[in-house]
Amino acid sequence: MPPNPIDAKTKKESPLYRKIADTLLSGIRDGLFPVGSLLPGELELIERFSSSRHTIREALRVLEDMGIVKRQRGRGTLVISTEARPSFVQAVRDPRELFTYPENSAFRVLVEGRVADEDHWPSKIGEGVDENWARIAGLRTLHDGSPFCWTDIYVLPDYAAIAQQLGRTKRPVYEQIAETFGETVQRISVEICAGSLRGERAKALLVDEGTPSLVLYRRYCGNGNRLFEVSVTEHPADSFSYSLEFNRGWQAAEHWSWSK
Amino acid sequence: MPPNPIDAKTKKESPLYRKIADTLLSGIRDGLFPVGSLLPGELELIERFSSSRHTIREALRVLEDMGIVKRQRGRGTLVISTEARPSFVQAVRDPRELFTYPENSAFRVLVEGRVADEDHWPSKIGEGVDENWARIAGLRTLHDGSPFCWTDIYVLPDYAAIAQQLGRTKRPVYEQIAETFGETVQRISVEICAGSLRGERAKALLVDEGTPSLVLYRRYCGNGNRLFEVSVTEHPADSFSYSLEFNRGWQAAEHWSWSK
DNA sequence: CCCTTTAAAATGTTCGGACATTTCGCAGAG
DNA sequence: CTCTGCGAAATGTCCGAACATTTTAAAGGG
C-alpha cells in the first residue's frame, strides 16, 4: 500500500532551506522586511541562520519561485510581495503543499453536482442536474470573491465516494482526492473554451438566452498519468474575466474578477 | 544608453551549466538519450563534462524547468520530451531566450493591425480596421497549426515604429520590442475573456452573427513595469479551444487546437 | 513460489571555499 | 557643477566534499 501522502506531509521533516524560506517569509509578512525593501545580504543571512551560502541561496530560490522576492545581481534581493501568489500552480510545485491549500481558496469546492455518464461529457454538461444544481447556481450573487458559479464534479472511476465528501465537508479538493484514491495530484490541466448559456443554465444565472460564457475544464492526474478527477465550471461572459499572468522564472498566477 | 539586449545575447558568454544543458539537449534530440530513457547519472556526467556536481545539477535543473527531463530521487533523470515546451512562458525565464524564440512559433506575429486611440481600447477593438484586417481574417482556413485569426497590435507609446516592422519582417515579437524600445520583456500577462462575434468580424470569419468567441489580451512589460506592447486576438468559439497545462515545478505549457 | 531483508545506485541536502560580474555610491578631475 | 573612474557590496558561477533519503533489484529465508 502506498504511504498516505498526508502522513508524509505531517511526519516528514522539511529540509533546512525550506525552513529558512518559511522563516524569511514570516519576517516579510510581519513587516520586518517590507515590500520594496531589500532583504539582508546573503552573507548576513549566513550568520543569522548559521548556515552555508548554498542553503541560503536555495531558500531564496524558493522565495523567488513563489514570487515573494526578486533577486538582482549586484543589487540585492528585493521584496516584491508579502503574499504567495493565490494560484493553484503554487500548490503543484510540491505535492505536499496541495494539502496545505487554504480553505477559502478559489479552488475550494463549493458545490456538489451530479454524475453524468461519460458519453455526455463534456458537451452535454448540465444535463441531468437535480435540485442541487439550481440551488448552487442561485448563489451567484452571494459570491463575493469566488469565481465559481457552480461546479459539477465528475470523478473517474468512482464518483459517488468522493462527490459526497467533497460536497459535504468542503475540504480542499486535493486532500479529498488523496484520501479517496491514495494518490497525490501530479499534474493539473486547465482547458478554457467559449460557450453559450442556454435554457436552464441561463435562467439560473439570470442572464439572457445565448449569453456568451467561459467554460473551464480541469483535470487532475495522479502518478502514472492516471486521471481521477475532472471539474467543469461555466461563467457568464458579461460578468466574469479570467486572467493568467506569467513572470520570469516560470511563475504563474491566476486571477478572477467580476465585471459588469 | 542601455546596452543592446541582442548584443548582450550574442556577445555574452553563456555560463557553463547552460552550455552543458545545451549539449545534453542536443544529445536528447539526436536520439542519444531517447524519450523514456534515463539520462546518465550525475557521477557519469561529472566525468564526461569534467565539471563539478553542482554545475551538472544546475544544468539538469535547466532541463527540468524546460520540461525536457524529470528528476526522480533514487531512480534517475528521466527524459520525458525531445522538444522544449512550445510555450511563451519558457521564453520569459531568461530574457535572452526571448531572442532565440523560433520563427514558426505560435507567438509569431502574423499580421499587422491598426492603432486605435486609448479610449477605444480594448472594448472597441476592431474599429477603424483597414483592408489589412479583412485580408488577414480571411486567412483563417489557411492556419493549420496557428491559433491566430488576426492580431491587432497596440503599442504604447509608439505604435507606428514597431507595427511596421512587426508586420513586414514577421520576426519574433520580443526581438522587435527589444530593438525598438531597448528593453527586454520582463513580464507577460494574458487575459482571456468571452466575447461575441458581430458585424464585420463575424462576416470576415464566416460565422453566424453572435457566435461566441474567446478574446485574448496580451500585455508585455519591460523593466520598471513599463508597458510597451499589447496584442489582442479573438477566436470563434466553435472552432477554437485554448488550454493551459501546469506541471509540478512551475512549468506551464500552452496548447491551441481547432475543433469543429 | 512468495515475502522479507539487504545492498547498490541515484538524486536530495548541506557545508566550505574561490572567483566573476553587476550595481551603485563616492571621490576626484575637469 | 558634471562627468569619469574606482572600489565596496551584492549576487552569479564554479569547484570539492560528505551525508541523507529514496528507489530498485538482488539475495536470502520461509
Q: Strand D: which residues 24-83 of A lie within 7 A (CB)?
A: 38-39, 41-43, 53-54, 57, 60, 71-77
Q: Which three cell numbers stand for residue B205?
A: 470569419
Residues of chain B numbered 182-241 and touching chain A (CB < 8 Å) = 186-196, 210, 212-214, 235, 237, 240-241
Q: Which residues of B touch A254 (CB under 8 A)?
A: none
Read off the pLDDT band of B20 (50, 70, 90): very high
Could you give the CA distance from residue B151 to residue B162 in angstroms, rounded to a whole number? 14
Nucleotide at minimal C1' distance from the B12 CA:
C21
Residue B58 clears pLDDT 80, i.e. is over it: yes
Read off the pLDDT band of A81 (50, 70, 90): confident
A42-49 vs A16-29: helix crossing angle, rounded to 10:
110
- Enclosing H/E stretch for B24: helix B16-29
- Among A115-129, B44-58, B61-75, B95-109, the range of highest mean pLDDT: B44-58
Q: How far is the CA of A122 from the C1' of C7 (A)?
A: 51
Question: Any idea which residue has 486609448 for its cell?
Answer: B118
Q: Which three cell numbers stand for residue B235?
A: 477566436
Q: How far is the CA of B241 from the C1' of C8 (A)?
A: 49
Amino acid identity, position B47: E
pTM of the model: 0.48
Residue A232 clears pLDDT 80, i.e. is over it: no
Residue B233 clears pLDDT 90, i.e. is over it: no
Could you give the CA distance from residue B15 to residue B94 in angstroms, rounded to a whole number? 13
Nucleotide D15's nearest residue (CA vs C1') is B52
- Taking the CA of residue B23 as centre, how many other CA atoms within 13 Å lie in the half-sphere pointing to its CB? 12
Could you give the CA distance from residue B212 to residue A211 in angstroms, rounded to a whole number? 8
Delineate the domains of chain B, giving CATH numbers in brackets: 5-79 (1.10.10.10), 94-258 (3.40.1410)
Does B81 contact A at CB distance below 8 Å? Answer: no
Quick one: pLDDT at residue A214?
Answer: 60
Residues B48-80 as b/e (b if ≥16 CB within 10 A, e otherwise) read: ebebeeebbbbbbbbbbbbbbbbbeeeebbebe
- In sign, the C-alpha dihedral spanning B160, B161, B162, B165 is positive
Distance from CA of B162 to the nearest CA of A (A): 23
Q: How far is the CA of B41 from the C1' of D24 (A)?
A: 15
Q: Is ipTM > 0.85 here?
A: no
Nucleotide at minimal C1' distance from the B45 CA:
C10
Does A143 contact B at CB distance below 8 Å? Answer: no
DSSP-H helix ranges across A30-158: 42-49, 53-66, 88-93, 131-137
Does B140 contact A at CB distance below 8 Å? Answer: no
B53-66 vs B16-29: helix crossing angle, rounded to 10:
60
Strands (E), A144-239: 151-154, 187-197, 211-221, 227-236
- Taking the CA of residue A47 as centre, how many other CA atoms within 13 Å lie in the half-sphere pointing to its CB? 4
The tens digit of pLDDT for each residue in B124-169 reads 223 333 222 222 222 221 111 122 222 332 222 233 333 343 333 3
The tens digit of pLDDT for each residue in B61-98 reads 888 877 688 787 888 998 877 765 433 222 222 222 22
What is the mean predicted confidence (pLDDT) over B179-192?
A: 51
User: Which nucleotides on chain D have any atom < 7 A from a protein Cβ?
Assistant: 8-18, 21-24
> Does residue A235 or residue B254 have the better pLDDT?
A235
Nucleotide at minimal C1' distance from the A39 CA:
D10
